[in-house]
Structure 1
C-alpha cells in the first residue's frame, strides 16, 4: 500500500512525470546530435584557413600542399576576388569570419636555405672539407617567424593542435633542406646519400573484441551519462513529495499507523527505483533503436545489458537515498526543489557527465571522486568500453550502495531526533 500511495502521488503530478521521462529523452537526443556533429565537423568538414603568402617559394608551396592534403583545411588566398594581405586577414579573423590565418613571411625559403648553407659549410669546414673563409664572410641571418591569427573564440585545444601540426611541418622542411644541402656539398650522386623518410612513427593500439576494434563514440558517452542524470533527477519530485507529506500532516498519520517507519521509506524506494529503471531502459532503447535513424552510431549493448542494468539499479538507490535525505531535512518545497535541482547539476558537473574528468583542473579531479554520478559513470564505462565484468565494477557498486545506506540512515535518525524534540 505504501508503494501504491507513491504511485498515486506521481500519477496526479503529470508535470512531474513529464520531467522524469520526457525531458531526459529530449536532452539525450539533442546533446548527442550536437556532440556528434561537432565530432564530424572536426574530422570530416574542412575548416577554411586564410593563407597570406609573402614567400611564394618552396616552403610556402609545401605548407599549402600539406594543408590541402590534410583533409581538414580549405586554404583561402582570396576574398571577393582580391588577394588578401596580413591586415585584411587579421581583421577577418578577429571579427570571427574565419578561425585561422597563416602569414608566411617574405624570403622565408631563401633565408632558410642560406642559413642551412652556412651551418653545413661550417660543419664541413671544421672537418677540413669546406672553405672556412667563405663561412666567416657569411652575413648573419635573422630568424623568421610564421604568424598565426586565431579567432578569439577558438578553443585552446584547436590552437595547440594547429600550432603543433605547423611546427612539425616546418621541422620536416628544415630537415629535408639540411639533407639536400649536405648532398650537394658532398658531391652529386644518382642515389641519395641520406634516407629522408621518418624513422620513428606512431601507431595507436586499440582494444579489440572478436577482431573488431572498440572505437569510442558520442553515443557511448551520452547514453550512460544522461541516463545517470535522469536517474538522479528523481531527487526533485521525491524530496518535494516528502515535504508535502510533512506540511499536509500526511506523514504524522503514516507514522501513527502500526507499521515501522522503514516500511514508509521502503515504499518510496521501491516506487522511485521502478521509475529509475524505466528511465534507464528508455535511454538504452533510444540509443539502440532511434539513434541509427538520426544518423548516429548505434549503442552496442550485446552481452552488456545485464551489467549496465545492475549499475543503473544501484545508481537509482544512491539517487533515492539522496532524495530521501533532502526531503527529510528541507522544511518547505521552496527549499527542496531549487536545492535538489542545483545539487544534481553540481554532482553531474563534477562527476564527468558534461566535461571529462581528465580535462578538469587537478583539484576538481580529486573532488570528482566524491560524486556518486562519477562512480556510476565509471562503472558504465567499464562495462561499455573496457569490457569489464562484475568484479571490476564491484567497487563502484559498493560505493553507490553505501551512499544509499548512509543517506537513508541519516534521514531516519534526523527524523527521529526531530520528532523526539
Structure 2
C-alpha cells in the first residue's frame, strides 16, 4: 500500500514537471500579490499620517466659533485649509472631484450661538427662581445654524463619517464651554474654565508583549490572507491535471490497475500539500526578510510557526479537496480552469480576504461562515493577532478537514457511478 502511494506521488511530481511555467506562476503570483497589496495599503496609511489632505474652508462668520473650528482643523495635522473660495466655487470644485471636501461656516454663527445659549440659560436659571445679573427681558432664541459640508461623490463613507464626527465634536466642545461660561455670568461665579476638563475620556487598552504594545499592521493581515489565496489557487492546476488524465487515458489505466482510487487521491493530496507548504514558507520569508528592506513592518512568527504550519496543512487539505472534486466533475480544461479561478476569487471575496467580514451586509456575513477561506483566515488571525494555541482553533481545523473529506468522498462516489459498468 505504501509503495503504491509512493508511486502515485512520483506520478504527480512527473506531471507537474511537464508544466514548469504553471508551477512558477503558482509560486510567483502570490508573492507579487502580497508585496504589491501590502505596499499599497501601508503607503496609504503612511500618506494619511505624513501628509495633509487639502480641503476648502470658507469662513462667513469670521468670529470666535469659526476661528476655533479653523484652529482645531489646522492643529489636527490632517488637513490643509484652502480659503480662496466662495461657497458656489467650492461646491463646483468638490462635486467635480478636484477636492475631497469643503466646510462652509455660516454668517453670524457666533452671534446667534451666543444669543441661543444666553436665552436658554436665562430661562433655566429663572425657572429655579434665581435672580440673574441681567435685568432685561429674556432674549429670544435665534434659529439654529447649519455648517455646510460638501463631499466629493467618490469619497469613502468612512472618511465622511470621520470628518462629520470630528466637526460635531469640535462644535459640541465649543457649545459646552459657552454654556458653562453663560451660567458663570448669570450666577456670578468665577471658577476657572480650564479646571473643568472632561470627566470621562477614552483609553485604548492593547495587548502587550513585555513592555511594548502589540499593534496590528498591514503585514499581519496580508501575509495570512494572501497565503490562503495562494493555497486555494492550486485548485486550478490540480483540476487541470485531473482533466488531462482523462483526456490522455491515464485515468483508465488507474481504474484497471489494482490500486484503489483513494490511493490515487492521496498521492495528489501529499504532492499538493508540499506545494502549499512551500507557498506558505515563501510568503513568510518575504514577510520576515524582504518587507523590512521595503520599509514595511517585519512579519513576526516567533513562537507561532508550528501553529501556522498546522493551519496551512488543514487549509491545503480543504483546497486540494475542492480541486479534486472540480477535476473529477469537469470534462475539459475549458471547464475546469475558468470555473476554478472564478470560484477561488468568489471564495476569497466571501471569506474576508479582500473586505473584512464585519463590513459586509448582514446576510453576507452569514454566508461568509460557510467559506473555507474564512475558516482558515480566522485560524490564522487567532494565532497571529490573538496569540491563540491549537486548542483555540480546533473548530476551524475540524471544519477544514471535514470539508476535505466531504469533497473527496463526493469525488470518489461520482467517479464510481460515472464509470460503473
Establish whether TM, by shorter chain, passes 0.5.
Answer: yes
Structure 1 position 212, deviation (Å): 2.3
Q: Secondary structure at the match of 2:369?
A: helix
Unaligned runs of 5+ in 1: 78-82
1:285 aligns with 2:290: no
Aligned to 2:342: 342
Q: How does 1:12-411 map to 2 (within 5 A)?
A: 12-77=18-83, 83-126=84-127, 127-130=129-132, 134-136=136-138, 138-187=139-188, 189=190, 191-192=191-192, 195-411=195-411
CA distance in 2, matches of 1:240, 1:7: 14
Cα deviation digits, residues 39-69 of structure 1 (max 9, x gap): 2233332111110000011111111111111
CA distance in 1, matches of 2:133, 2:231: 78
The answer to whether the 8 A contact 1:121-1:131 is kept is: no
CA distance in 1, matches of 2:386, 2:173: 37
Q: Secondary structure at the match of 2:149?
A: strand
CA distance in 2, matches of 1:128, 1:47: 50
The answer to whether the 8 A contact 2:59-2:105 is kept is: yes
Q: Secondary structure at the match of 1:303?
A: coil
1:6 counterpart (12, 16, 27): 12
Q: Secondary structure at the match of 1:296?
A: coil
The answer to whether the 8 A contact 2:314-2:400 is kept is: yes
Structure 1 position 7, deviation (Å): 1.3
The answer to whether the 8 A contact 1:55-1:107 is kept is: yes
Measured on the aligned residues, the alpha-carbon RMSD in Å equals 1.5
Distance 1:188 1:402, change over 3 A: closer
Structure 1 position 350, deviation (Å): 0.6
Structure 1 position 214, deviation (Å): 1.4
Cα deviation digits, residues 79-98 of structure 1 (max 9, x gap): xxxx2111111111111111
The answer to whether the 8 A contact 1:233-1:344 is kept is: yes
Q: Secondary structure at the match of 2:198?
A: coil
CA distance in 1, matches of 2:265, 2:353: 29
The answer to whether the 8 A contact 1:94-1:151 is kept is: yes
CA distance in 1, matches of 2:189, 2:325: 84
Aligned to 1:80: none
- Provide the aligned length of Structure 1 versus Structure 2: 414
CA distance in 2, matches of 1:295, 1:226: 20
Structure 1 position 188, deviation (Å): 5.9
CA distance in 2, matches of 1:396, 1:233: 20
CA distance in 2, matches of 1:140, 1:104: 19
Which deviates further from its counterpart, 262-271 or 294-303?
262-271
The answer to whether the 8 A contact 1:125-1:131 is kept is: no
Cα deviation digits, residues 228-270 of structure 1 (max 9, x gap): 0000000000001101111121110122222221221111111
Cα deviation digits, residues 144-194 of structure 1 (max 9, x gap): 0000000111010110111011001101101101111122222263x4379
CA distance in 1, matches of 2:137, 2:184: 18
Distance 1:193 1:303, change over 3 A: closer
CA distance in 1, matches of 2:142, 2:275: 73
Structure 1 position 38, deviation (Å): 1.6
1:419 aligns with 2:385: no
CA distance in 1, matches of 2:132, 2:302: 70
CA distance in 2, matches of 1:357, 1:35: 18
Q: Secondary structure at the match of 2:56?
A: strand
The answer to whether the 8 A contact 2:134-2:186 is kept is: no
Unaligned runs of 5+ in 2: 1-6
